[in-house]
Amino acid sequence: MRKVRTRARAGTASPLRRSPVPERPALHQVTLPLPSSWGSLDRVQVYVIEGDPLTLIDTGVRTDASRSILEGSLEELGYGLAEIGRVVVTHAHRDHMGLVQTLREAGAELECCVHEADADRVERYAEETRERFDATLDLFREYGVPEPRLEVISASREEHLESRLAEGEATVVDRRLREGDRVGFKHFDLRVHHSPGHTPGHLLLEDEELGLLFTGDQVMGQAIPNTENFYSAPLPEPAEPLRRRPRFEGLRALRSSLRALRGRRFRRLLPAYGGILQRPDRAIHDTLLYYDVRLQRIERGLKHLAALDQDVTAFELWKALFREDESIDDMRTHLLTLIGALDCLEVDGLVVAERRADGVLTFHHG
């Protein structure tokens, strides 16, 4: 999934940044390229930690360019790809796990560590990617997207899937991580924090001794994470008044995860995008503020329509807030964001959902 980006394309600095945290000299940052199809997202940051085992935190996408630069950076440090002994994946997106199987095929006898809530997606990458896209059509239908527009989205399926399947590959997960687990090294360890939102199994890794936090895509420099929203079961909840199917509600989860980080005494954040963040509280605050502002905007729109005695669907809100000629990818992203916003506003008691006779969910200000 793409992230909302707020800066221009980066320059051509060396991909290897040695020991960016002087107190932890065995830790290095490597910046790997992303294909041009990612637009303004042109590179992703992964981390190498020297030790036994030699460890990668995330891998970048599965492309020749990404592999080549990772290999060259490791050679500068005195290692080969086959010497990687462990990969910790912050979450099951291709810019974070895409190269794991490639490393194994290059001779690395590595342990792949993923949070248990994302592990199946890593092991069934192609199948899960296809199933998730197809299930999104059902979600959009329930939230009012008309059939002609769904046909346009469906027609883009193969193009939509092509790059995702090319840039990632399924691989075996050896260790399914949980909240509070430790990823150990000789002189320190990293504590696992489950931080759902961007994905169900997104994790953070905390170096408690130095106040460092590897944040993946949950908190980034000059960028905001998108959140996933998808059905987690095929049948409705029996006790749910509107007979809605269970879903992973990513924006609700992200708000909760970020609120849990506020006030923690981190010294630096090490994200997948945007350098190294020296002001952790500010970065966490800005991510929460980004969504708070958008929730307020959507609530105002619903309040205005309530004054006109109108209920609306998520699709009608999309038409009111975004350009109708935007790309299919952008439309999907914005619709998912709107559905996530409605989840938040509903749990906050600010909107009320109802189901029309045709099965579509509508919303009005509470």
Residue ranges per structural domain of the chain: 4-309
Tokens read off for 332: 């999907």
Strands 247-249 and 361-365 turn out to be unpaired
Q: Quick one: average pLDDT of 68-72?
A: 98
Nearest to 106 by CA among 76, 79, 77, 78: 79
Three-state DSSP at 4 gives strand
Strands 4-5 and 223-224 turn out to be antiparallel
Three-state DSSP at 56 gives strand
Indicate if the pLDDT at residue 2 is higher than 80.
no
Q: Give the helix/strand (H/E) hosting 285.
A: helix 280-307
How many residues comprise the chain?
A: 366
Q: What is the CATH number of domain 4-309?
A: 3.60.15.10
Tokens read off for 352: 């009320």
Nearest to 336 by CA among 248, 273, 256, 233: 248
Phi, psi (rounded to 5 degrees) for 226: -75, 165
Alpha-helical runs (H) found in 106-249: 116-123, 125-142, 147-155, 157-166
Provide Rg for the chain, Cα atoms. Answer: 21
CA distance 17 to 218: 22
Q: Quick one: average pLDDT of 129-146?
A: 94
Which stretch, 12-26, 86-100, 131-145, 309-323, has highest mean pLDDT?
86-100
Instruction: Provide the mean pLDDT of the chain.
Output: 93
Contact 245, 234 (CB under 8 A): yes
Looking at residue 10, its pLDDT comes to 40
Nearest to 154 by CA among 305, 6, 328, 30: 328
Q: How confident is the model at residue 320 (pLDDT cuts 50, 70, 90)?
A: confident
CA distance 17 to 21: 10
Looking at residue 365, its pLDDT comes to 87
